[in-house]
Structure 1
Amino acid sequence: MRKQSLRRTCVALATVTALSLAATACGGTTKNDVQKEGSGAGAVAGKADPNAATKKGLTVGFLPKQVNNPYFTSADKGGEKALTELGSTYKEVGPSSATDTAGQVSYVNTLTQQQVNAMAVSAQDPGALCTALKQAMRNGVKVVTYDSDTKTGCRNAFVSQASAEDLGRTEVQLLARQIGYKGEIAILSAAQTATNQNTWIGYMKDELKDPKYKDVKLVKIAYGNDDPQQSFQQTQGLLQEHPHLKGIISPTTVGIKAAAQYLSGSKYKGKVELTGLATPNDMRKYVKNGTVDAFELWDPARLGDLAARTAVALSSGQITGKEGETFKAGSTTYTIGRDGVISLGKPTVFDAENIDRFDF
């Protein structure tokens, strides 16, 4: 049994919108990425009471893939702001590397031992955290995944940044228009194990089967491991290996920034198109100097906000994670979909015409 007094620790919160493009991959899962384990025992427990009062004084731990990463800093500060508004406490722990899965397991255990009421986790690996997360749930901790999911039986709900299918297909559509539906293309991904990256790439490949892409050829998938230097070098390697490359898709904020940095200072600027997932603040100068035509993303602060509000709704008994349940988060009412998935909404496309209207 957890003591109520340990549920009431207070931590100060701050809002953020700016992201530098050292950001890590938007590497996680999305609406269609959910993987099942067993009967999904962790997904639903008890009966929801949508009219239950919102509890205050809760402690919610945020565990991103990587701390001090601009993408997750923005997302988690969105969660921090939401928890402050709801009268609860925000706590952040996490590894300094985006590939430290063992470290994430350790932090899940730490949050469980600290008897937080709920945790919001961006999983580096779809299955590696399951044992630790299930133990957390057995101890009464509500588990929300955001950005990158685990298996359905290892959490109560997953807050998806967008539909995986929408993200995968629209990135191909954006790049195809930019290269006139003709030429060689490559993908610069994050880690080979990143759940969302692989799911998005799967939809990219499926989209490319459409006859309208008959003259578009995917020649390679490279992995920069959400490291700026590695991603920069992978971009350079792609162009050396494929001198006729016409375009690159990088579905990771770290990768696309590194690729833009390389292209903007090379002979390939204006000749090789680049799109993917990025923040407006990170891409603004590359859009304005002609390196990048258009890219897309969701607002990570809104993602963190929804993850926090979902955690509080679960802890308050307003939802359990069952399909069809509804709850209000801020001014928006969300409906829980299949397998406990809550979708933030469709991504936004940014280009020269609208990029100055955004600041994150």
Structure 2
Amino acid sequence: MRMRSIAIGALSALLLVSTAACAEDGDDGTGSGTGEGGIKTGLKVAFLPKQVNNPYFNTADNKGGKEAVTEFKGVYSETGPSEASPSAQVSYINTLSQQGTDVIVVSANDKDAICGALKEARQAGAKIVTFDSDTTPGCRDIFVNQATAEGIAKNQIKLISEAVGPEGGEIAILSATANATNQNAWITLMKTELAKPENSKLKLVDTVYGDDDDQKSFQEAQGLLAKHPNLKGIISPTTVGVAAAARYLSGSSFKGKVQLTGLGTPNQMKAYVNDGTVKSFALWNPADLGYLAAWAGAALASGKITGKQGEKFTAGKLGEYTIGADGVVVLGDPYVFTKDNVANFDF
């Protein structure tokens, strides 16, 4: 009996040590725990783009976002509407909330339309990260901005000015949806840039919307040239729009006569840069944007940050970031692609 008691005691001690070791590793017995840097493992992270099957979001979500979620041992998913519209994302948010999603990373089609659903998701325990296009600040925890709106606006006006040349002329903007928060902010600031003396020879004559639909964007580009025969340049700060406009110009008599710039991915735009349709365009790395957004969400869901100004967190290979005013985190400055460098990139 004495030997049996000693054996039982030893087994109990061994189990206690084993349990303590698991606790130190962060395993709570449910399959979730704490990994490197205090980030919880097993986090359910869902990406909700403006629209699925958009090349830009395929890169941001399914490459960058998925890579990050894999690194911190979470569970990745992507869902969303096939067409970009203000209210199309609401039902997806509600479903993700009901599924107990820990982090919802969303690019908003409208700054207000999805706020009610996002607030309910937050009340249910989800952390909300907006990226690419923001909501009203009170509807989310953090906004991961690809670049400052001022930086993008200055960049776009600079590129179209250089492309058109010193004589200037009429220009137009081919945007995404009329309600897209980021697009509208950039357009407002582009108008501010155009009002400066150094840009006085550029005249904005029209702004049209392709709704991030390839065919509609193509038709809107065609319509601009029919409506404004003296048009010298088009700015399209949307990956779908700029590629569609380039496709139209490359096969028309306006190729080389009407200049085009905007925000596009290298893989979309290489052919049009190489054939002379486009001199230069800009973007950030969308994979890095999705990667940063995922890490920001993980830091929120792990209690490392709350979204307050001045807080810092580490985003894997991208390093440390500091949260700015209104819970905004900025990825970095836009990168300019030209014939000299576009072949070096693959996204």
TM-score (normalizing by structure 1): 0.85
Separation of aligned partners in 1, 2:82 and 2:152 = 27
| 1:93 CA displacement | 1.4
Q: Deviations over 1:134-190 (max 9, x none)?
A: 111111111111111111111110110111111011101111111124111111111
Separation in 1, partners of 2:180, 2:164 = 27
SS at 1:296 equivalent: strand
Q: CA deviation at 1:5?
A: 9.5
Contact 2:259 2:278 in 1 (8 A): yes
Q: Quick one: distance in 1 between partners of 2:294 and 2:37?
A: 17
Matched residue type, 2:253: K
Is 2:204 aligned against 1:204?
Answer: no
Q: Which of 166, 170, 193 matches 2:155?
A: 170
1:299 paired residue number: 285
Aligned with residue 313 of structure 1, among 299, 318, 341: 299
> What's the secondary structure of 1:132's corresponding residue?
helix
Q: Distance in 2 between matches of 1:197 and 1:87?
A: 34
**Aligned-residue offset at 1:292:** 0.2
Query: Would you say the 8 A contact 1:7–1:115 is kept in 2?
Result: no
Cα distance in 1 for residues equivalent to 2:271 and 2:217: 19
Superimposed CA distance per residue, residues 334-353 of structure 1 (whole angstroms, 9 cap, x where no aligned partner): 00000000000001000011
Task: Give 1:102 shift.
Answer: 2.8
Contact 1:171–1:275 under 8 Å retained in 2: yes
**Unaligned stretches of 5+ residues in structure 2:** 1-27
Note the C-alpha offset of 1:6. 9.2
Q: How many residues align?
A: 314
1:186 aligns with 2:193: no
Match in the other structure for 1:195: 181
Q: Which residue of 1 aligns with 2:72?
A: 86
Report the 3-state secondary structure (helix = DSSP H, G, I; strand = E; otherwise coil) of the residue aligned with 1:162.
coil
Establish whether residue 340 from structure 1 lines up as the match of residue 307 from structure 2: no
Higher helix content, 1 or 2: 2
Displacement of 1:7: 8.6
Aligned to 1:41: none
Q: Do the aligned partners of 1:52 and 1:316 also contact (CA within 8 Å) in 2?
A: no
Are the aligned partners of 1:161 and 1:303 in contact in 2 as well (CA < 8 Å)? yes
Q: Which has the larger radius of gyration?
A: 2
Corresponding residue number in structure 2 for 1:108: 93
Q: 1:260 aligns with which of 239, 246, 269?
A: 246
Contact 1:159-1:342 within 8 A present in 2 as well: yes
Return the letter of the residue paired with 1:326.
K
Q: Decide whether aligned partners of structure 1 residues 7 and 125 sit closer, same or farther in structure 2, where only a CA change above 3 A counts.
A: farther
Q: What's 2:141 paired with? A: 156
* In 2, Cα distance between equivalents of 1:298 and 1:6: 39
Query: Residue type matched to 1:354 in 2?
Result: N
Match of residue 342 from structure 2: 355
Dislocated runs of 4+, deviation >2 Å? 4-8
Conservation of the 8 A alpha-carbon contact between 1:171 and 1:276: yes
In 1, Cα distance between equivalents of 2:345 and 2:284 = 11
Aligned letter for 1:151? T
Measured after TM superposition, the shift of residue 52 of structure 1 is 6.6
Q: Could you say what secondary structure the match of 2:188 adopts?
A: helix
Distance 2:247 2:157 in 1: 21
From 205, 220, 223, the counterpart of 1:234: 220
Could you tell which deviates more after superposition, 318-327 or 64-73? 64-73
Counterpart residue number, 1:61: 46
Q: Report the secondary structure of 2:41's partner residue.
A: coil
Matched AA of 1:351: T
- Distance in 2 (CA, whole Å) between partners of 1:88 and 1:295 is 35
Equivalent residue for 1:244, pick from 230, 236, 239: 230
Equivalent of residue 110 in structure 2, options 119, 125, 135: 125
% identical aligned pairs: 57
Partner of 1:288: 274
Q: Is the 8 A contact 2:109 2:177 kept in 1?
A: no
Question: What's the counterpart of residue 29 of structure 1?
Answer: none
- For structure 1, list consecutive stretches of 5 or more residues without a partner in the other structure: 9-50
Matched letter for residue 136 of structure 1: A
Shift of 1:358: 0.8
- DSSP-derived class of the 2:40 partner: coil
Amino acid of the residue matched to residue 98 of structure 2? Q
In structure 2, what is the Cα distance between the partners aligned to 1:140 and 1:73? 27
One-letter identity of the residue aligned with 1:124? N
Q: Give the aligned residue type for 1:334.
A: Y
Determine the C-alpha separation between the residues in 1 that align with 2:47 and 2:133.
13
Structure 2 contact 299–305 (Cα < 8 Å) conserved:
yes
State the shift of 1:53 in Å: 1.3
